Amino acid sequence: MIIDSHAHLSDERLIGRVGEISDSLSRNGLESVFEVGFDMQSSKIALELAKEYDNIYAIIGTHPHDAKYYDDKVEEFYLQNACNKKALAIGEIGLDYFYDKSEREVQRDVFARQIDLADKVGLPIVLHIRDAYGDAIDILNSRRDKLNKGVLLHCYSGSAEMIKQFNKFDCYYALGGAITFKNAKKDNVITSIPPDRLLVETDCPYMTPVPFRGQPNEPKFVNLVVDKIASVKGVDREIIEKLTYENTKRLFFKYD
């Protein structure tokens, strides 16, 4: 079985089909999907979906794009809901210097605050890092003593060399549909990730893998990510299924 470790079913392109998607997961080889918030409202929806569907879990937090809206009220919401048994992590949090939708200083402050929050509630963190790897590493270094529950780099887009830096924090790495793109050139990244730290995701409805680019992504397409990884590594896909499943369970459910 496969776990889609990062999805946005609350997106308008998918929200009307959540019941159908949930019902079809097992037929498509998936055990569960992790619904990820990017602000307080989407985190509320993630928790609601997790409550309604047995095979959907929630990850709650504020994305760097929305860091400018983070305040004590938002933080209190996360604190109160982190105790929910189906809330698995704080995310997706981090830095995004590509779009700069929030001021960089604000992004850095909110990133650090949410690392502290995750440590307080005893949950892993799920990171969104884009064009900001240096500052992200600096912040992780400054909070090294608070990274005890695990760190996942969602949709890892860095280099194989950068993996060596993140390995110092015992990070996990999730790969998605982007690795199937013709111009991706990510084979060396795939082979550089420690096998016991590799996860798969869709980031649906974004990052739709080849050959379905141009249509909304959805959890069933995570199979194409598994296929690509297996092809690059030269192993049977069942090996990648088992490996990524066990890694996901270890990271998100080890403190149950």
Pairwise CA distance, residues 167 & 184, whole Å? 22
pLDDT tens-place values along the chain, 256 residues long: 999 999 999 999 999 999 999 999 999 999 999 999 999 999 999 999 999 999 999 999 999 999 999 999 999 999 999 999 999 999 999 999 999 999 999 999 999 999 999 999 999 999 999 999 999 999 999 999 999 999 999 999 999 999 999 999 999 999 999 999 998 889 999 999 999 999 999 999 999 999 999 999 999 999 999 999 999 999 999 999 999 999 999 999 964 4
Pairwise CA distance, residues 199 & 212, whole Å? 21
Short-list 26, 11, 21, CA closest to 203: 11
Q: Regarding the domain delimited by 2-253, which CATH topology (the fold level of the hierarchy) does it fall under?
A: TIM Barrel (3.20.20)
pLDDT in tens, 211-247: 999 999 999 999 999 999 999 999 999 999 999 999 9
Pairwise CA distance, residues 192 & 184, whole Å? 15
pLDDT in tens, 138-166: 999 999 999 999 999 999 999 999 999 99
- Domain chopping of the chain, boundaries: 2-253
